[in-house]
């Protein structure tokens, strides 16, 4: 059990609080155990301060209560023997409070942060695999789960709450982790969930339309991502120079490592760089040749698609940037593996090639289809849907992309939530030049079966949108569902 003094926890903000031993931090009063501190946040939809008395009754040793962001004053009141600290702008300081409680765990491991619209999961897990192959012990935190690669536990959000992040980091450090590869979302940055994390490396993959329902504009979305490179003082930056936003940021961060799929893409930068010189695509993977400030090299990896070549190069540049030997990295690259639900290939002889990918943005869908066209000798099928209660503007955009890049398009459901699936599909059809040619099958199992039964052995079927997810969110319930399992059953794996 972790135990510190409440005085020690509050020292940066208050000269004195009553002496108390505390053993945990909890944001939910229903989870309070004897000795915990209840952190009562004033949220948008719920003000947890109304549960302070309940938390104290449940055994809270102390309470830190949100004063809001009005610029008010700190204060300490007593509820019987329990100190209640009034804390101005608590949400913004929660990361530091949690970091202090867990004794600054991010300073005890090498922290690698990955941000961008697409590729965060693949890059973070490639880095973790590569480091482990080199003798390290790496935990990942992100969309597909948190933990060591052999035992990932599901995560609710790409970037967890400020308290959960510090608790998980402390747990990984206790278990012997040497490195952490963390996906850092725009939400997590804007909401200060990682404010007290000490990042040693910051990586930018790319930026395309996503989360505009939250950020409001692409400019605000980009600004949120840029915080990872301006607010944390990381000694190593790695940037995708082929992305327009990445190229712009490289001009203001000349010390960053620039990565490109061509020599032309990095020619303008005076800092360190790594670029692709040659690539060969096969159904079983890619053979990559590169040049860099660390020298040239060649390796093979079992991933498909051009954007995975960029993901490999970003990962390689990161590891070179933190001091790993180039020859050693190249020698173990063939042992890297695809990430669950990220351009994950399912294949049996004499059957169509099936690929499950998480692509749920216009850019990601376009890249996935473009990548698979290289591997497709027959017709390219695309099965996808759009989420309910989310950015409606991308629905016609994604449908237009699928119609343009695929030969056969099946529109299906993807977490319709509280919206009518028919309304979501109607929005999608508005983006198509020939909507009558699209096949609409709301049930994803039926959609996959239709494509598999009507495709030929030299066809490729992309099942996009859900990737690693094992659920479908409907209007009244969340049901178990996995594209990966559906595809496995079709191929009788």
Tokens of 135: 């003798």
Phi-psi region of 406 (alpha: psi -120 to 50; beta: other; left: phi over 0): beta
For 421, other C-beta atoms within 10 Å of its C-beta total 21
Q: Which residues are annotated as a binding site for meso-2,6-diaminopimelate?
A: 390, 414-417, 465, 469
Q: Which residues contact 262 (CB under 8 A, 6 or more apart)?
A: 242, 275, 276
Phi-psi region of 42 (alpha: psi -120 to 50; beta: other; left: phi over 0): beta
Q: What is the SS3 assignment for 130?
A: helix
Contacts by 189-193 with C-beta closer than 8 Å and gap 24+? 189/115, 189/159, 189/224, 189/225, 189/227, 189/228, 189/231, 190/215, 190/224, 190/227, 191/91, 192/91, 192/92, 192/93, 192/94, 192/95, 192/162, 193/95, 193/159, 193/160, 193/161, 193/162, 193/165
Q: Which residues are annotated as a binding site?
A: 27, 116-122, 157-159, 185, 191, 193, 390, 414-417, 465, 469
Please state, in angstroms and rounded to a whole number, the distance separating the CA atoms of residues 421 and 434. Answer: 20
Could you tell me which of 74, 168, 189, 48 has the C-alpha nearest to residue 37? 48
Please state, in angstroms and rounded to a whole number, the distance separating the CA atoms of residues 302 and 332. Answer: 12
Please state, in angstroms and rounded to a whole number, the distance separating the CA atoms of residues 88 and 70. Answer: 7
Q: What is the SS3 assignment for 83?
A: strand
Q: Which residues are annotated as a binding site for ATP?
A: 116-122
């Amino acid at each position: 059990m972790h135990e510190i003094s409440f005085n020690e926890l509050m020292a940066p903000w208050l000269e004195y609080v009553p002496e108390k031993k505390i053993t945990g931090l909890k944001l939910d009063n229903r989870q309070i155990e004897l000795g915990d501190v209840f952190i009562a946040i004033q949220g948008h939809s719920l003000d947890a301060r109304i549960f302070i008395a309940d938390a104290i009754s449940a055994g809270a040793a102390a309470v830190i209560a949100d004063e809001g962001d009005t610029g008010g004053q700190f204060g300490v009141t007593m509820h019987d023997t329990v100190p209640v600290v009034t804390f101005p702008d608590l949400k913004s300081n929660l990361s530091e409070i949690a970091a202090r409680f867990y004794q600054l765990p991010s300073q005890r491991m090498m922290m690698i942060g990955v941000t961008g619209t697409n590729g965060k999961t693949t890059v973070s897990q490639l880095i973790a695999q590569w480091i482990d192959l080199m003798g390290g012990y790496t935990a990942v935190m992100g969309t597909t789960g948190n933990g060591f690669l052999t035992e990932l536990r599901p995560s609710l959000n790409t970037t967890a709450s400020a308290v959960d992040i510090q608790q998980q980091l402390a747990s990984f450090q206790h278990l012997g982790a040497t490195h952490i590869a963390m996906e850092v979302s725009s939400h997590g940055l804007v909401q200060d969930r990682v404010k007290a994390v000490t990042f040693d490396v910051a990586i930018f993959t790319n930026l395309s339309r996503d989360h505009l329902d939250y950020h409001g504009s692409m400019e605000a979305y980009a600004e949120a991502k840029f915080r990872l490179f301006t607010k944390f003082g990381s000694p190593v930056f790695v940037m995708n120079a082929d992305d327009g936003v990445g190229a712009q940021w490289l001009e203001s961060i000349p010390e960053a490592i620039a990565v490109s799929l061509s020599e032309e893409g990095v020619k303008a930068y005076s800092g360190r760089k790594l670029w692709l010189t040659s690539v060969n695509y096969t159904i079983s993977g890619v053979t990559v040749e590169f040049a860099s400030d660390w020298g040239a090299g060649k390796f093979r990896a079992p991933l498909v698609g051009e954007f995975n070549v960029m993901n490999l190069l970003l990962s390689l540049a990161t590891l070179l940037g933190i001091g790993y030997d180039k020859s050693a990295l190249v020698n173990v690259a063939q042992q890297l593996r695809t990430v669950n639900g990220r351009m994950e290939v399912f294949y049996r002889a004499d059957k169509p090639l099936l690929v499950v990918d998480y692509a749920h943005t216009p850019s990601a869908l376009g890249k996935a289809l473009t990548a698979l066209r290289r591997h497709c000798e027959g017709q390219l099928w695309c099965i996808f849907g759009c989420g309910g209660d989310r950015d409606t503007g991308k629905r016609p955009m994604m449908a237009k992309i699928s119609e343009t890049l695929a030969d056969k398009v099946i529109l299906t459901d993807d977490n319709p939530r509280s919206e009518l699936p028919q309304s979501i599909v109607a929005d999608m059809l508005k983006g198509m030049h020939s909507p009558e040619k699209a096949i609409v099958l709301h049930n994803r199992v039926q959609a996959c079966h239709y494509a598999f039964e009507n495709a030929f052995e030299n066809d490729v079927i992309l099942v996009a949108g859900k990737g690693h997810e094992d659920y479908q969110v409907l209007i009244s319930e969340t049901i178990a569902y996995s594209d990966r399992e559906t595809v496995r059953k079709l191929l009788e794996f």
